[in-house]
Chain A
Amino acid sequence: MITVSVNGVTRQLHASTSVAALIAEMRLAGKRIALERNGKIVPRSAFASEQLFDGDKLEVVVAVGGG
């Protein structure tokens, strides 16, 4: 198991979880989101190939109303 932080919340995941698998688990697959890992953008095209590592800090964002 690995421990990652997703939007400030700690999650336990299997050691070989991909970004795409995490997004699916969050029920965000196919949604308009963007993702940053440890301060760097992970492009959508790399979600399937990018593996998560212990200690990763992820930010998953959406568009919301704002001025």
Chain B
Amino acid sequence: MNENLVIAGKSYSSRLLVGTGKYKDFAETKAAVDASGAEIVTFAIRRSNIGQNPDEPSLLEILPTSQYTLLPNTAGCYTASDAVRTLRLARELLEGHSLVKLEVLGDPQSLYPNVIETVAAAKILADEGFQVMAYASDDPIIAKQLEDIGCVAIMPLASLIGSGMGILNPWNLQLIMERVQVPVIVDAGVGTASDAAIAMELGCDGVLMNTAIAAAQQPVLMAGAMKKAVEAGREAYLAGRMPKKLYSASPSSPMENIIAPTGS
């Protein structure tokens, strides 16, 4: 009943996707990724620093493609053109790998997505054979447009990147889920385990997070908490919650055979 998450025809048993930024070192990155149980792990593309210690291990050695589905992203890109160039480089870096996370930002303070540039980039990337998981605002019209372009997953924000504010607009997430057929994965804004559980209880297909784990006091412990929260939220969604009501005249214990009232 708890079916796997399927993205672009590939099946994943974990519905938690994690980023690899903001950790103190690669050992902590790896320990957190493993504690999260994530199979899809996102990373960024950056210039090779001239003078960098060439003997330092690379992220790709810490997280080998044989064990993880590596998801290159376009974090830091503000135009469709830069995002497309970044992902072409990523495809070369990963020897033809086509599953990517598209993210085009509009504002360096808020990190709010620029959906116009995102849609433009998604069109080019889809034409070039990329399988695009598109990060966007929680706009159901944009979500549908991204699906129509051929994106393989829609990834609306819960709240702004790195904010930890949780799910600010569950109604928009519901509108998106009603309109698109591809997986809807909440990306950005999750702050703690309950936020991830709520996203899954709403019926989202998965959650992608980075800062909520990396910026916790104990990242590896939080990674485990997120794994459980995503699983619990998914099972609660499948189980179907009881309806909310202001009060109930139906207590949990039987009404019959209560002992005689005092003094009778």
Contact = CB atoms under 8 A, between A and B. Distances in A.
Nearest to B89: A34
Per DSSP, chain B at the interface is mixed
Contacts, number: 102
Q: Which of A41, A44, A65 has most B Cβ within 10 Å?
A: A65
Interface residues of A, number: 26
Nearest to B26: A65
Given A31-B54, A41-B88, A65 B60 contact: no
Given A28-B54, A65-B29, A67-B20, A7 B47 contact: yes
Given A64-B44, A64-B45, 17 more contacts: A7-B49, A28-B54, A33-B48, A34-B89, A34-B90, A44-B92, A61-B45, A62-B47, A62-B58, A63-B45, A63-B58, A63-B59, A64-B59, A65-B19, A66-B20, A67-B19, A67-B161
B50 A66 contact: no
A36 B45 contact: no
The 6 A-B pairs of least Cβ separation, nearest first, read A66-B44, A67-B19, A67-B210, A34-B92, A65-B20, A34-B93
Given A39-B85, A41-B88, A67 B211 contact: yes
A66 B71 CA distance: 10
26 contacts: A6-B50, A7-B47, A7-B49, A28-B48, A31-B48, A31-B54, A34-B45, A34-B92, A35-B92, A36-B85, A60-B47, A61-B47, A61-B93, A62-B47, A63-B58, A63-B59, A63-B93, A64-B43, A65-B21, A65-B22, A66-B20, A66-B44, A66-B75, A67-B19, A67-B21, A67-B44
B195 to A, nearest CB: 15
Interface residues of B, number: 37
Contacts of B93: 32-34, 61-63
B50 A9 contact: yes
